[in-house]
Amino acid sequence: MKKIWLIGASEGIGRAVARELGKNVDNSLILSARNEERLLDLSSELEASSIICPLDVGDSQSVEDCWKEIVNKKTTIDTIIYCAGYYAPMTAENIDVAQIEKMINVNLVGAVRVLSQAVPEFIGKKSGHIVLISSIAGYRGLPNDTGYGSSKSGLIHLAENLNCDLSEYGIKVQLISPGFVRTRLTDLNNFRMPSLMSTEQAAKHIVKAIESKHFEVRFPFLFANCLKLLSLLPYSVYFWLMRKIRARLK
């Protein structure tokens, strides 16, 4: 039986991933997010066994308390999927410090808080699997993406750091970079989102990805690979293109 701790399970992509993983009775899930009611409701519909452990990843004490609860239940985690996230659309003309702090706190520092609890155990037992849900928005600076892009590029960097240091302990680290997925977060966007997909489609990609050996899995194939290729362009060409894209977004 595989014990999977899924953080950010109450809504959107994380909820759909829980449903996908929950179809397999060989999985045992620990579902975390802030909204206890939504977690309970999700837990009751899964075929696989599951427990809930509500937490606020923005608060170190809350993460520690949740980890203590997991340890007290003598649960040994095999896989951590960090899918908690926050997004506020923002241009550089309207910088909102509080919102940027929140994005970096939830999207990046929250992952560090969770990992600081679990990684020592993974190192001790010389196994474990860490999956960070980042975004193709983290590859390179995009228009109208101030703050969020920084938090996601930080998460990409963190995944690389972890993989450098933890592979010698047999710990598998993976980075998953989705394109646009329809959730309450992308409902805030007022532009046409290319290759927009459902949470169910995204969850199938993610579950397949975590069974693979790849460090990074990005999807949808065409759009995500185009963005990856764009990130390799020289700055002069890249910024010329971004100015064109920004003009179209207005």
Ligand X SMILES: NC(=O)c1ccc[n+]([C@@H]2O[C@H](COP(=O)([O-])OP(=O)(O)OC[C@H]3O[C@@H](n4cnc5c(N)ncnc54)[C@H](OP(=O)(O)O)[C@@H]3O)[C@@H](O)[C@H]2O)c1
Give SS3 for 139: coil
Would you say 39 or 166 has its CB closer to ligand X? 39
Tell me the C-alpha distance between 250 and 242, whole Å: 13
Tokens representing 7 are: 């953080």
Distance of closest approach, residue 55 Cβ to ligand X, in angstroms: 6
Distance of closest approach, residue 169 Cβ to ligand X, in angstroms: 26
Would you say 55 or 115 has its CB closer to ligand X? 55
Side chain identity at residue 201, one-letter code: Q
**Other C-beta atoms lying within 10 Å of the C-beta of residue 160:** 14
Would you say 27 or 199 has its CB closer to ligand X? 199
Distance of closest approach, residue 36 Cβ to ligand X, in angstroms: 8
Instruction: Give the ranges where 167-234 is alpha helix by DSSP (H).
Output: 199-211, 221-230
Q: Residues in the site for ligand X, rule: CB under 6 A?
A: 8-14, 33-35, 38, 55-58, 83-87, 106-107, 133, 135, 178, 180-181, 183-186
Would you say 57 or 131 has its CB closer to ligand X? 57
Would you say 104 or 106 has its CB closer to ligand X? 106
Distance of closest approach, residue 248 Cβ to ligand X, in angstroms: 19
Distance of closest approach, residue 110 Cβ to ligand X, in angstroms: 6
Exposed / middle / buried, residue 12 (Cβ in 10 Å: 0-12, 13-18, 19+) = buried
Q: Of 157, 137, 148, which is closest to residue 92 (Cα–Cα)?
A: 148
Tokens representing 98 are: 């509080």
